Amino acid sequence: MAGLYFHIPFCKRICAYCDFFRVADLRHLGSVIEAMHCELEEQREFLHDRHVRTIYFGGGTPSLLPPKELQRFVDRASEIFDCTQIDEITVEANPDDVTDEWVAQLAATQVNRVSLGVQSFDDDELRFMNRRHSASEAVDAVRRLQRAGISNITVDLIFGVDGFGCDVVESSIAQALDLGVQHISAYHLTIEPNTTFGRRKERGLMREVDEEQSELEFRLMHDRLTAAGYEHYEVSNFALPDYRAKHNSSYWHGVEYLGIGAGAHSYNGLERHCSEQSVAEYIAKREYVREKLSESDHFNEYVMTSLRCAEGISLGYLSGRFGKSVRDRVMQIARSWIEAGDLRFEGDRLSIPPERFMISDAVIESLFEV
């Protein structure tokens, strides 16, 4: 089963930390949507697996679109692929787009999951990040979706923001729990060079939080959410039972996906491609940067995505797919991590205990083939 991703690269306001592919000039919105319909047609042969199980509208800000435009993409996809077994269609939404009217229209579509870019339930922190909504607007958005019968809601939260410590993180978690959302994605802030935060950092006006503070906030997230019954199933993701993100999980399990839109990535098991074009170039003609994956790429990808998930690496799969010598090399390197308690070895699997996910990058890099 494959996935479809639609990238809507428009935002009314640029957040201070954001280095995603997005533009603040909305004039091309209509032309981009039509170009995306053309691209869906042009790329119809890219996926080997014709059965689509998940669709994801990401951005940018897909909630800038009227929900009937989202449904138009779903309808077109259903003409091209077998979409009879779809079980998750997600749209990312900015809380201040989630009006009564938008929600009523959304309820009439096949979208059954909403990912709200909340980031924080603290007004000062929201202003600091240049978000365009307030904490109370985020609360209202969740309640409005719930009243309309959307029963699969995820919120994004950001932690590790200098100047906003554990108290702010704690109150954001408490508010999310109080709202009873089914899923929470929690990302540590990274200050990227081409962002407002990056420029502030360069001028000495802002810094990354230190390692000790990062660890404290990460543990706070992990402890509070797991105590409340959420499974910490991926480095940045927590879900109530049966509410893991199906679309995103498929990225971590090597499932094929087709990304449509300027800046979207695609993968079909053999090749990855991405249209790294400006919006204007994308409207005129779709062009891709293509990458054929080597055996080392496949191995590194498997190690990285598996160890970021609670299930970890299957040693049987490693032997079968990459050979016994590769499995033996992994086990040899893993030994010291196991002794330190940073890797767990149970049955056929090597995994990072979720409370140690913070150090996953170091474990993963040590296992990479170069």
Both tokens of residue 206? 């802002």
- CB of 20 or CB of 317, closer to ligand SF4: 20
Least distance from ligand SF4 to the Cβ atom of residue 60, Å: 5
Least distance from ligand SF4 to the Cβ atom of residue 120, Å: 12
- CB of 60 or CB of 67, closer to ligand SF4: 60
Q: Helix, strand, coil: what percent of the chain each, to 5? A: 45, 20, 35
Interacting residues toward ligand SF4 by CB under 6 A: 11, 14-15, 18, 20, 22, 59-61, 94, 117
- CB of 263 or CB of 312, closer to ligand SF4: 263
Least distance from ligand SF4 to the Cβ atom of residue 178, Å: 24
Order the strands of the 344-346 sheet from edge to edge. 313-314, 349-351, 344-346
- CB of 142 or CB of 189, closer to ligand SF4: 189
Angle formed at CA 19 by CA 215 and CA 261, multiple of 5 degrees: 125
DSSP 229-296: T-EEEETTEEE-TT---HHHHHHHTT--EEEESTT-EEE-SSEEEE----HHHHHH----EEEEPPHH
* 6 SS3 class: strand
Number of Cβ within a 10 Å radius of residue 62: 27
- CB of 189 or CB of 363, closer to ligand SF4: 189
Least distance from ligand SF4 to the Cβ atom of residue 119, Å: 8
- CB of 130 or CB of 268, closer to ligand SF4: 130
Least distance from ligand SF4 to the Cβ atom of residue 101, Å: 20
For residues 289, 76, 87 and 188, what is the CA-based torsion angle, rounded to 10 degrees?
40
Question: Minimal CA–CA distance to 142: which of 120, 115, 124?
Answer: 115
Residue 248 and residue 278: Cα distance in Å, rounded? 25
Least distance from ligand SF4 to the Cβ atom of residue 25, Å: 13
Least distance from ligand SF4 to the Cβ atom of residue 318, Å: 36
Contact 201, 207 (CB under 8 A): yes
- CB of 156 or CB of 369, closer to ligand SF4: 156
Residue number of the CB closest to ligand SF4 reads 18
Question: Minimal CA–CA distance to 173: which of 209, 98, 218, 225?
Answer: 225
- CB of 59 or CB of 312, closer to ligand SF4: 59
Contact 194, 166 (CB under 8 A): no
Cβ-Cβ contacts under 8 Å for 121 (sequence gap 6 or more): 135, 138, 139, 171, 172, 175, 176
Least distance from ligand SF4 to the Cβ atom of residue 165, Å: 22
